Amino acid sequence: MPHAVPPLRPGHHLQLLEGSREFFPALIAAIDAARSEVLLETYIFDFTGSGAEVAYALERAGRRGVLVRLIVDGVGTPELPPFWRDRFEQAPVQWVVYSPLGYFGLLWPGQWRRLHRKLCVVDGAAGFCGGINILDDYHDPNHGPLDSPRLDFSLRVEGPLVQEMRATIVRQWSRIAAVGQLRRAKWSGAFELLRTAAGRTAAPPVPPDAVHANVRAALLLRDNLRRRAVIERAYLRAIGRAHREIFIANAYFVPGGRMRRALVSAARRGVRVCLLLQGRYEYFMQYYASRPVFGALLRAGVEIHEYAPSFLHAKVAVIDGRWATVGSSNLDPLSLLLAREANVVVEDRGFAARLRERLVAAMQHEGQRMDAAAYERRPPLQRAKERLALIVMRALLAIQGKKYL
């Protein structure tokens, strides 16, 4: 029986962090204050620009005797640069690659099941969860320098969820070690479970006006076993209960039938539904496969705003000014059917108001609202690209034994 959406638990302190310009300083401060362990899990670790500052912080922690363990994904980060492999070995910083690509690459069944989570736990006291990779806001590995920063969010968390985050990274490290994928196994205890973080200290302080205290929150972990639908189910429940407004910002938005019907139903019962989506071309399949679903949404009165200044990588939502989520999961089949994802769900008016304010500003000042009439007049070549993208996406899912209707 698949897991139900976990209940929200009180007693959390949350700080919303926008982009690497806010996330990296908070992360580095926590790493520099670490006394026993730093556990970091990310899809992409890119050492360009400010990404290198995070790497240096990990190195500093390792050199002062902190247990530092890093998990990266085999597609997002297939290898570490030789310079950093040497520095991590000397520190030491232990690192592993989740599911490295073999000879057939992504054509091999199962290789689309990626580790897309972005989690970090420091001394068991402070945790981070969101959508931001270790990647400079002004750099894209495929497109080069960016004129404006990409839009994405993360959370700094204190409270009961931190131990859940830590246990998640512990399990993942142990599974990788068990199948012999450990890349740096020379240190004692490398194939053992991570030791309990003895001698934990309080997390480093953050500005009090940026912290939302005593917040109810839950950690949603999507995997390919019992938690296959937990993130989608949480979205559907919140959308179904919405009375006033739904704001969703999502990078790769290719919703399945249940999600489309839920959004259309909400709009038709008078709920204001606003989507902030990727407006710049990044990847062929994700960009064009999303377009065919816009028609039904626009006809139902859903507002679609395309983010224009840079790439949109946010995976967040705010509903009725109370329910919110920040995490790594897109609303597309790669996230909802295949990848390991992590989202935090929050019920708190203060936190929701802060996130809503940023999304509204992005829609009003950084987005371009889609015109329903112009959408219907899009040229035949664009429609052909959309059909091709959907065919490719469905074929790739079929290889994985999945359907997404």
Q: Which residues are part of the catalytic machinery?
A: 116, 118, 123, 313, 315, 320
Distance CA(168)–CA(268), nearest Å, equals 39
230-240 and 257-268 helices cross at what angle (nearest 10)? 10
User: Cβ of 107: how many Cβ atoms within 10 Å?
Assistant: 12
Distance CA(309)–CA(293), nearest Å, equals 23
SS3 assignment for 188-220: CCCCCCCCCCCCCCCCCCCCHHHEEEEEEEEEE
Is the distance from CB of 72 to CB of 42 less than 8 angstroms?
Answer: yes
For residue 226, what are its two tokens? 């019992």
> If you search the block for the tokens 């690459």, which residue do you land on?
105
Distance CA(133)–CA(141), nearest Å, equals 12
For residue 127, what are its two tokens? 């945790």
Distances (CA, A) of 238 to 135, 232, 298, 345: 31, 10, 21, 10
Nearest to 119 by CA among 137, 99, 133: 133
Is the distance from CB of 151 to CB of 138 less than 8 angstroms?
Answer: no
Q: Which are the contacts of 75, defined by CB distance < 8 A and separation ≥ 6?
A: 43, 101, 106, 111, 114
User: Cβ of 138: how many Cβ atoms within 10 Å?
Assistant: 19
Q: Which are the contacts of 9, defined by CB distance < 8 A and separation ≥ 6?
A: 159, 160, 161, 216, 217, 218
For residue 117, what are its two tokens? 């989570």
Output DSSP code: residue 141. Answer: T
